[in-house]
Amino acid sequence: MSQPLARMICVVRRSPFVGLSAILLLAVLEAGCTRSATGIVRDANSGRPIANALLQTSNSVWGFRGGQPVWDNQSIATAQSGADGRFRFDVAGGTGLSVTAPGYPPVHTSFCPRETPVLMGGPYPQLLTDRRLIIAGELIAQDKDNLHPPALASELGVRVSGSIFDKGSGLRVEGPGVRFVPGTGAIPAAPPLPYPRSAEADLRRECGWFFITDGLRPVAVIEGRHPSGMQVPGGPWRWFLMYTRLPDSG
């Protein structure tokens, strides 16, 4: 199979809009796809590799259920990190990544675009980026969330921009102090000050966290991944990132 055709099949196979007449053809040709996901498991405090971590990823693929072809068949793959902390899945990542290792709280996250540094432990093992950071001028009724109240980017003193909002992959955050740290999993310790006034990530190549200061100390973390959005009827798209405030930010 030619490489261009193989790449096309690897992309098309994930789409729920592929006609049913193509499913059997994809099932036959899909074997020619070269799919793998690699990374390294590290301690979020020391950065040292973690050996013998058990990893599991899940993905939705074309398959059959009850004798009928479906596009959201759940595919599960497992891997174990070696002595150097490295792991490899013979699948192209997935929508979910779970990691367990002796002496660490479990991690539930997702893959980065390229080789994934997965962090475990650290100073915030239970802290999640579970609040929406709205990239707009004001909050509206549709933004309401009583459990995890959202905030405007301006409330953190930051400005979010980049080509990611126009078919590109660059995400830029500006503020009193911003530092990008690559990785996924447990939020690591905040890097030492000082921070530059802006930081940028190429989301085709990496994911991670933007640490934000108030000019004196780190106060919040913004997840460096693709923004999500919604379109209000009759209005423009409203984009948001996920964030959390650091527990020791006062």
> Tens of pLDDT along 4-42?
333 333 333 334 444 444 434 434 333 334 457 889 999
- Name the phi and psi angles at 205, rounded to 5: -115, -20
Ranked by mean pLDDT, the top range of 21-35, 41-55, 72-86, 100-114 is 41-55
> Tens of pLDDT along 139-196?
998 889 989 999 999 999 999 999 999 889 999 999 999 999 999 999 999 999 999 9
Provide the residue ranges of all domains of the chain, joining segments of one domain with +. 1-34, 35-120, 131-245
- Predicted local confidence at residue 118, as pLDDT: 96
The tokens describing 160, both together, are 């979010």
The tokens describing 217, both together, are 């100390």
Contacts of 90 (CB under 8 A, 6+ apart): 35, 36, 77
Cis? peptide before 194, omega within 30° of 0: yes
Beta bridge mates, 221: 211, 244
CB atoms within 10 A of CB 141: 6
Q: Which fold has domain 35-120?
A: Immunoglobulin-like (2.60.40)
Contacts of 34 (CB under 8 A, 6+ apart): 6, 10
Q: Is the whole-model pTM more than 0.75?
A: yes
Q: How far is CA 207 from CA 19, 34, 93, in A?
A: 33, 23, 14
